Amino acid sequence: MDPLATADIALVRADNPGPFTLEGTNSWLVGRGPCWVVDPGPALDGHLDRLAADARARGGVAGIALTHGHADHTDGVAGLLERVGDVPVAAAAWEGATVRLADGDAFGPLQAIAAPGHAPDHLAFLSGRALFSGDAVLGHGSVYVAPDPGALRGYLAALDRLLALDLDVICPGHGPLITEPAAKLAQYRDHRLDRERRLVAALGDGLRTQDELLGRVWSDVPSVLRPAAAVTLAAHLDKLEEEGRLPEGVDRGPLPRYGAV
């Protein structure tokens, strides 16, 4: 049985594929009479036309929920509002939101769950036994964790919270539908902890520069994703420092900025 049909959820994927967006940004329509939109995606007319048409077929739009403020999830907000009318836009911190959400808040059929890590303002949304994970969990591959006080500890705690939910499906911000939620969430948690173990071992061997640590711990990452790996490395180093486990003399190197993906 189709888990999306069972939960009355529809996917509209934007035509913006890339190394960070995978097959494209996923926009989700939840329920009907009217429906709710999770992440309108980029400002691409074809995508927004399809999203608005599918929403009209489901009885219109009651509100728009944003998992986080990155442009590939939010740039389409204005264009979608032009197509469907003035409806509330809910987010944790995005400046264009008209409704502010915090952990545990409800927005229509959606319950907000704080899931920081990829972005400080990141939320996941629970509707029944379906989770809209944004960029906290992707359909395939892993996510980068942005350096921020407590970011990696918060991300690992969020994964544990999500693992405790009784889920049928995860609807990610990019990539295919996840039909084995518990296995995927455990894989994400274990992957991040394995990176930490490998990083601690590399530091124990005396490696201290960004290039050395990336070369040892993220050796499997393709070159196009190496800047994102450098961002995640910084978050791992922050966690070790917060826990008093970071040795002296670590040269973090330059930190690329990835605020739009």
Full 3-state SS string of 207-222: CCEHHHHHHHHCCCCC
State how far the Cα of 192 lies from the Cα of 236, in Å rounded to an integer.
9
Catalytic status, residue 72 = yes
State how far the Cα of 131 lies from the Cα of 31, in Å rounded to an integer.
14
Structure tokens given for 33: 């009479």
Contacts of 77 (CB under 8 A, 6+ apart): 40, 64, 66, 89, 96
Q: Could you tell me if 61 and 35 are in contact, meaning their C-beta atoms sit under 8 angstroms apart?
A: yes
**Angle formed by the axes of helices 210-217 and 181-204, to 10°?**
130
Structure tokens given for 27: 């926009």
77: left (phi over 0), alpha (psi -120 to 50) or beta: alpha
* Chain centroid to CA 206: 33
User: What DSSP string runs through 41-53?
Assistant: -S--HHHHHHHHH
Q: Could you tell me if 18 and 258 are in contact, meaning their C-beta atoms sit under 8 angstroms apart?
A: no
State how far the Cα of 178 lies from the Cα of 97, in Å rounded to an integer.
28
Give the active site residue among 72, 75, 135, 238: 72
Catalytic residue numbers?
72
